[in-house]
């Protein structure tokens, strides 16, 4: 399974915001994510990095 | 293995630009990717979507 965990950088620290992310979509300045269980999260953010080895998404505030 | 294939939307079609992507970094308007074999690709683009189920990255021109 290749689902990823999504983190948002807040005050210099990575805060976990959603686990088991299946899909990520960018629409304008908004990142929308949906996970294995159908849970969704949308927030104004930019992608800093994604690791397909560590199954990790790192977002930051715009 | 969770490596992804990266596509760039050109003229409405998805064009394969890098396979087996391990990591993606955004630096300003530039997306940098590195794959399993150490091949690198950097281009001015934005992420449209990422599927961790289909191991697919879709980029578009800004």
Cross-chain Cβ contact A50/B24 below 8 Å? yes
Domain assignment present for residue A28? The answer is yes
Assigned domain for A58 exists: no
Question: What's the pTM value of the predicted model, to 2 decimals?
Answer: 0.95
Cα–Cα distance between B53 and A24 in angstroms, integer?
11
Taking the CA of residue B13 and the nearest CA in chain A, the distance in Å comes to 18
Of B2, B26, B55, the CB nearest to A46: B26
Q: Is residue A11 part of a domain?
A: yes
Q: Answer whether B33's CB lies under 8 Å from B40's CB.
A: yes
CA-CA distance, B59 to A39, in Å (whole number)? 24
pLDDT for residue A4: 97
Whether residue A54 is contained in a domain is answered as: no
ipTM of the complex: 0.93
Domain containing B53 equals 4-60
Q: Which of A1, A3, A2 is nearest to A39 (CA)?
A: A3
What's the pLDDT tens digit per position in B2-33?
Answer: 899 999 999 999 999 999 999 999 999 999 99
Nearest CA in chain B to A32: B49
* 3-state SS class at A45: coil
Residue A46, domain member (yes or no): no
Q: Work out how many domains chain B is built from and give that number.
A: 1
The pLDDT, as a whole number, for residue A1 is 73
Greater confidence (A26 vs A2) lies with: A26
Domain contains A1: yes
pLDDT tens, position by position, A28-55:
999 999 999 999 999 999 999 999 999 9
Q: What residues have CB less than 8 Å from B56, skipping those under 6 apart?
A: B4, B5, B7, B49, B50
């Amino acid at each position: 399974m290749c689902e990823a965990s999504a983190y948002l950088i807040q005050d210099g620290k990575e805060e976990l915001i959603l686990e088991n992310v299946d899909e990520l979509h960018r629409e304008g300045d908004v990142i929308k994510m949906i996970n294995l269980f159908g849970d969704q999260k949308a927030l104004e953010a930019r992608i800093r990095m994604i690791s397909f080895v560590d199954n990790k998404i790192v977002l930051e505030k715009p």
